[in-house]
Amino acid sequence: MKQNTALTTTLITVFSLWFIFGIIRFITLPANDIHYHADFAVFVDGEQLMFENPLYYEEVGSGCTLSEDSKPAERAHLHDQVPSIIHVHDRNVTWGHFFNNIDYSIGEFHLETWENAYTETGDQQVRYILNGNEVQDIKNRVIESQDRLLVDLSSASDQELLERFETVSTEAETYNSQPDPSACSGSNRSTSDTLKEAFFFL
């Protein structure tokens, strides 16, 4: 009888500890549904590049749920043929990562697109305006929610450059505040999935 009581007490204690630990994990598990947006534009000699080729864009239904073997393009991408909105799905994604994902190369003194490779010559410079401020190189800067970036290759004056920056989209805030109309709206982890993970069922 005493053995049964001791066994019951042990089982209750183990279950209680497991339950308490699971609740703590449920509360403290980091969200894996990172999804925010940033605005950007690229100008070459005063002309905005519009990224018209469908290959620039992730297909609807892909690129929005990360796993251990996720491809780089799933971390930051364009989709829905909207050329000014970047969708970010992971921590510490840099502008360099994003431009690599669309097969562009950027640096302090060069810009390489699908069609051409540019380097600074004479008055023509590669310049970056991030959130209204000129920065030397954005390759290693983390993309923050609602960032606005202008990438410009031209001989524009400082004033012309700032005026050009004002044409950069400001839609990221709107995208952040509403579900995406396509694939990425389905990337959020549900409460039931979080509970399963917290209690080691996943």
Average pLDDT, the chain: 83
Q: What pLDDT shows up at residue 5? A: 76
Q: Which residue has the higher pLDDT, 43 or 1?
A: 43
CA-to-CA distance for 114 and 178, rounded, in angstroms?
32
Q: Which amino acid is at 106?
A: I
Q: Give pLDDT, residue 160.
A: 98
pLDDT of residue 196: 58
Mean pLDDT of 2-12: 70
Task: Record the pTM.
Answer: 0.73
Rounded CA-CA distance 79/142 in Å is 20
Based on C-alpha coordinates, what's the Rg of the chain? 24
For 133-160, the pLDDT digits (tens) are: 999 999 999 999 999 999 999 999 999 9
Average the pLDDT over 4-22 and give the result.
70
Query: Crossing angle, helix 2-28 and helix 191-198, to 10 degrees?
Result: 130
Structure tokens at 182: 């396509």
Q: What residue type is 194 in one-letter code?
A: T
pLDDT for res 200: 60
Scan for tokens 């310049």, then name that residue.
127
Q: What is the mean pLDDT of residues 99-105?
A: 97
pLDDT digits (tens, 9 = 90+) for 165-201: 999 999 999 999 987 655 554 444 445 555 555 566 5
